[in-house]
Amino acid sequence: MALSKLLAKQNPHSSSGRNYTRAFFLRQWTAQRAFQADHTDVEERRMKKLVAMYQRENVIELLRFRLRNPSLLLATEAEVRELLDSIEAESEKLKEEIESLSGDSAPAANVEERKLRLLLWSAKSELFVEAVHLRAERQPLVDSKTIGARLGTKLKEKIFKAINNRRPAIDKVITEYNLRYSQYRLKFPNQHGTHGDDDNLMSYEKLKTMPLDDTFWNDGLFYHCDAPWAINPEVREGINCVLGLSRVQEEFELIAQELVRMMAWAIEVHDQIAKQISYMQERMQQLRRAPDAPEDHVDRIHLTNITRGDKVKLIHKELLNRLASHNELVEEWSDNITWLWGSCQPTENLTFIQDWNNLLRQIKQEKLDNFPDLNDVNDVLEEIVSGEVVDDGEDTEEVWVDL
């Protein structure tokens, strides 16, 4: 299990040298949520403005480089001086704007790191947009392979044409991202997320098969944050594992609630049917002793061409059948309920499983001692309906059940 392996590793962010813990991963998840809550749209716009300014700065540097072109020797001294003054003025203005937006006077190394990181972030953001578009266009093809969705020839042609038309734009964005990533890794090789080989370099083949929830998109460079959740892949993996277990636990809690409801329903239905059977038995005995006994709710049930006694017998037999079917259902559920109970029920619900076990014992006792052969019950039902049974209180006495 991934989480078990992580918990066996030393936590590099622990001052005491302890291993990773679930509590640590949960704290990092809380910190990540707090960071994202504070990462407002205003901050997003500020970073985009900085990116635009850094891009302008790169253009100015490119102009400076091109001033070395021999063709400029043909220009007059005044023209060259005017061009240089214009570049210097724009450069100074841009520098002031960047300092105003960044709001600090960090060392040059930190400024350069932030610049390359933001340019990489911008390239990666554009790459993600292209990945979303590519996934949307490829999804019908993926569905046709995974869920058997049918695509006509014309539709497939349209899809492939759209994908091919987008390919040049995607290749351009991939090239830009790889350039920014290589520049960042070259100057800051010790930053988290830039170690190893070229795992973070992108290609078209890699992009088209990469899931949108791949950890690549959650790289620490994207967050502009040095917290463990942002820079350490192991911490992000641990957070995902802990959250996954939490979701599983929530599902088990929901299953536990449904399990208790199901058990309560099964117990209640059994009790209600058993009570009605007992009442029918008492009513049959009452009618045998006093055929003119006062009416009850059974008498008010309308059945054509049937005596009071036969009506009670008919309902009694139907209840026996219903109880037998219900008991079979309970026994079918029994093993699964026992397993689920051991997996997801809290100890405070112990009384429910005790009631369930009592029900199972009662069902076994009913099968051993009380139930007549159900084939005989069905025969009696047919005889009552066809009028072959006479309510003399003798022929059917042996099949009554005492519960």
Tell me the pLDDT tens digit for each residue of 44-60: 676 677 677 666 766 66
Written as six digits, the tokens of 341 are: 């109970």
∠ Cα 194 199 201 (to 5°): 85
**Buried-exposed string 194-218: b where 16+ CB fall within 10 A, e elsewhere:** beeeeebebeeeebeeeeeeeebeb
Question: What pLDDT does 392 receive?
Answer: 45
* pLDDT tier at 360, thresholds 50, 70, 90: very high
Report the SS3 class of residue 193: coil
Percent of the chain predicted with pLDDT > 70? 67
Q: CB burial class (10 A; 0-12, 13-18, 19+) of residue 383?
A: middle
Higher pLDDT, 186 or 110: 186
* pLDDT tier at 219, thresholds 50, 70, 90: low
Question: What pLDDT does 402 receive?
Answer: 40
Looking at the whole model, is its pTM more than 0.85?
A: no
Determine contact, residues 12/232, Cβ cutoff 8 Å: yes
Written as six digits, the tokens of 383 are: 């005889």
Q: Provide the residue count of the chain.
A: 403
Q: Does position 140 have pLDDT exceeding 50, yes or no? A: yes
Question: What pLDDT does 153 receive?
Answer: 78
Q: Does position 403 have pLDDT exceeding 50, yes or no? A: no
Q: Does position 395 have pLDDT exceeding 60, yes or no? A: no
Written as six digits, the tokens of 93 are: 């203005």
Question: What pLDDT does 23 receive?
Answer: 93
Residues 6+ apart with CB under 8 A from 172: none
Q: Does position 20 have pLDDT exceeding 80, yes or no? A: yes
Residue-wise pLDDT tens digits, 202-214: 999 998 888 876 7
Higher pLDDT, 141 or 103: 141
Q: Does position 196 have pLDDT exceeding 90, yes or no? A: no
Q: Does position 73 have pLDDT exceeding 60, yes or no? A: no
Q: Does position 393 have pLDDT exceeding 50, yes or no? A: no
Domain ranges (residues) in the chain: 108-231, 249-399
Sign of CA dihedral 184, 188, 189, 192: negative
